[in-house]
Chain A
Amino acid sequence: MAGHDHTDPPSDIALRVKALESLLLEKGLVEAETLDAIVELYEHNIGPKNGAQVVARAWIDPEYKARLLADPTSAIAELGFSGVQGEDMVVVENTPEVHNLLVCTLCSCYPWPVLGLPPVWYKAAPYRARAVSEPRSVLEEFGVDIGDDVEVRVWDSTAEVRYMVLPERPDGTEDLSEEELAALVTRDSMIGTARAGQE
């Protein structure tokens, strides 16, 4: 495992973008808020969101699901999705007894090759703090109804681990194709702030 005393720099091209952005901000040529607003406007168009296909496959193929839970990085690569190397992926399964919620309290670690770009609220301080201290209230605000008998587990990303939630397959979807199932899997359902198929 890599040490905890450094952070791996992003790709050279991402560093070029960061360099340009920080110079423009420093010189007052652009404002951080307006840049964020544009990125936020298109956040649903950013990143491949391959996670939905991973989830749909796991729903229809129990053997794939077993591999996904045992060795997520390899199981995700099986579907031809790469980009999560170097970080261990952990897939946590929602069940009628357990609801999982992802957060990174320190920074905004996020497996974007699988989930697309993190939503702005995920990176914001209130979510990062409250997801840990009062996860049930946070879930309620997101419109996720969690029974008192359901255990809520909060997963805080650490140095080398990125999490993804395997949401529950919605009832009444037995006749849907893999593609139709994938369409029910939203980004938020893989963070745990929504159920799959939730409007």
Chain B
Amino acid sequence: MMDNAELAATPSLPFNEDGPLFAEPWQAQAFAMTVRLSAEGHFSWTEWVRYLSAEIAAAKSGEEGDSLDIYYRQWLAALEKLVADKGLASSAELTGRKEDWRRAYLNTPHGSAIELSAADSKPD
């Protein structure tokens, strides 16, 4: 698990005494993936911090919206670049998979579990 020193060394990470703060579940999921990929040795936390800092610096031009939302949008963009650069998942794979999930939702009746296989088949 992350130690707090590493978290504190992460640029602009919003957190309180209980840990990092998230406005929406996807933000916590993006955070968790980053922590695990780093812990599994796919990249170092220092390397991650470089990608995140670059993304934050590039996006400085007055984005509108909630600060946690902006921060984790930059976080996800940085993570997508890092996993692509490391050959873990390409940008084309990510885009394709996103559209598959969108179709899977649209093809799945409410209340049923969303399965990726539903992307290509509308159930009766």
Residues of A within 8 A of B (CB): 4-24, 27, 29-31, 34-36, 38-39, 41-48, 106-107, 112, 117, 158-160
The CA-CA distance from A112 to B106 in the complex, in Å, is 21
The CA-CA distance from A158 to B18 in the complex, in Å, is 34
B1-40, CB < 8 A from A: 1, 15-16, 18-33, 35-37, 40
Contacts of A10 in B (CB 8 A): 26, 105
Closest CB in chain B relative to A68 CB, distance in Å: 23
The number of chain B residues with a CB under 8 A from chain A is 50
Contacts of B35 in A (CB 8 A): 38
- Beyond A16-B76, A17-B30, A29-B88, whether A42 also contacts B98 by CB under 8 A is no
Given A10-B105, A29-B40, 11 further pairs, Cβ under 8 A? A15-B102, A17-B26, A20-B83, A23-B93, A24-B83, A30-B37, A30-B40, A35-B36, A38-B32, A39-B32, A42-B28
Contacts of B94 in A (CB 8 A): 16, 19-20, 23
- Prevailing SS type, chain B contact patch: helix
Name the residue of chain B whose CB is nearest to the CB of A16. Answer: B98
Contacts of A18 in B (CB 8 A): 26, 98, 101
Contacts of A20 in B (CB 8 A): 30, 33, 76, 79-80, 83, 89, 94, 97
Sample 23 A-B pairs with CB under 8 A, ordered by A number: A4-B111, A6-B107, A6-B108, A7-B106, A7-B112, A8-B105, A9-B101, A15-B101, A17-B33, A18-B98, A19-B94, A19-B98, A22-B97, A23-B89, A34-B36, A35-B33, A36-B32, A38-B1, A38-B28, A45-B18, A107-B113, A117-B25, A160-B110
* 6 nearest A-B residue pairs (beta carbon): A9-B105, A38-B32, A106-B111, A19-B97, A19-B98, A14-B26
Contacts of B80 in A (CB 8 A): 16, 20
B60-101, CB < 8 A from A: 73, 76, 79-80, 83, 88-89, 93-95, 97-98, 100-101
**Interface check B49, CB cutoff 8 A:** no
The CA-CA distance from A21 to B95 in the complex, in Å, is 13
Name the residue of chain A whose CB is nearest to the CB of B15. Answer: A45
The CA-CA distance from A152 to B83 in the complex, in Å, is 49
Q: Are A14 and B24 in contact (CB under 8 A)?
A: yes
Q: Are B26 and A13 in contact (CB under 8 A)?
A: yes
Q: Are A7 and B109 in contact (CB under 8 A)?
A: yes
Contacts of A27 in B (CB 8 A): 88-89
Closest CB in chain B relative to A30 CB, distance in Å: 4
The CA-CA distance from A27 to B87 in the complex, in Å, is 12
Q: Are A29 and B37 in contact (CB under 8 A)?
A: yes
Contacts of B110 in A (CB 8 A): 4, 6-7, 159-160
